[in-house]
Amino acid sequence: MKKLYTFCFLFCFFLSFSQNAEYLGISDLSLAQIGEHQIKANLKVTGSTAGEYLTNKIETSGSQITLSLCYKVTDFGAMTYYDHDFNIGIPTVPSNYNLKVNVYQTEVVCDYKKLEDSVNLNFSMPFSGTISLKTFENDFNNKSVSLFPNPVKDILNFKTDVKFDEVNVYDASGRLVLTSLFKPEINVSNLKNGNYFLELKSKDKIITKKFVVKK
């Protein structure tokens, strides 16, 4: 009987851990120009559990291009690695553009509500070769900004050598919940527990960092 209790405890612990450990993260984004008005975006996403890619949508507004992807995840399974190519039409050239990629997680039907990760990549058309998060001078691989504490209760501090103009905070559904002029800290005490995204903006770059509010 004692062995049975131990097994049940370990099983429940593992189940709880698995459900809390589900995570999707963007590991790389690269762009290649394939036509006068078209680019190919290669996106690599890592999942902490088993899952599958469901669908995507592409929205363009002026120089802002948003690629949103939805993945179905499960509670169990090994790490999953996704590698997808997307052909994206560009309305006019030459110009400066910002490509924002949002990754959403769903359990049943894709509703684009649970935002898991987000990256931005600035580029100008036309260009030759490949532009990626790893090689672009304005890369967004989290090296240029550090957040602390994370998780946070009230004051979120950030350290960076890059000059920014604006600070925005988005919730997991992508809704803007806080905004201010740039300063090295922001008060998040009025936010509910959960995952959020800090967006630091300047005229030529955008950096997005994920943080957690836990009180």
Beta bridge partners of 168: 179, 199
Residue 44 CB burial class (10 angstroms; 0-12, 13-18, ≥19): middle
29 pLDDT exceeds 60?
Answer: yes
CA-based torsion, 172, 88, 84, 29: positive or negative: negative
pLDDT digits (tens, 9 = 90+) for 183-206: 989 999 999 988 888 888 887 677
If one counts every other C-beta atom within 10 angstroms of the C-beta of residue 105, the result is 20
Q: What is the mean pLDDT of residues 109-119?
A: 87
- Based on its alpha-carbon atoms, the radius of gyration of the chain, rounded to whole angstroms, reads 19
100 pLDDT exceeds 70?
Answer: yes
Tokens found for residue 213: 């509010």
If one counts every other C-beta atom within 10 angstroms of the C-beta of residue 8, the result is 10
Q: What is the mean pLDDT of residues 97-104?
A: 93
CA distances 11 to 1, 4, 21, 48, 78, Å, are: 15, 10, 15, 18, 17
CA distances 189 to 116, 152, 210, Å, are: 22, 9, 16
Task: Return the domain boundaries, the chain.
Answer: 24-134, 145-213
Report the range of poorest mean pLDDT among 16-25, 124-133, 196-205.
16-25
φ, ψ dihedrals at 114, nearest 5°: -95, 90
Residue 189 identity (one-letter amino acid): S
Beta bridge partners of 25: 46
CA distances 63 to 66, 125, 148, Å, are: 10, 11, 32
pLDDT digits (tens, 9 = 90+) for 40-95: 999 998 887 778 899 999 999 989 999 999 998 877 666 788 999 999 999 888 88
What local confidence, expressed as pLDDT, does residue 76 receive?
67
CATH class of 145-213: mainly beta
138 pLDDT exceeds 60?
Answer: no
Query: Which is higher by pLDDT, 1 or 74?
Result: 74
What local confidence, expressed as pLDDT, does residue 111 receive?
87
- Reduce the DSSP state of residue 14 to 3 states and report it: helix
Query: Which is higher by pLDDT, 138 or 125?
Result: 125
Non-local CB neighbours of 183 within 8 Å, separated by 6+ positions: 167
pLDDT digits (tens, 9 = 90+) for 159-191: 887 788 999 998 877 788 999 999 989 999 999
What local confidence, expressed as pLDDT, does residue 89 receive?
93
What local confidence, expressed as pLDDT, does residue 119 receive?
87
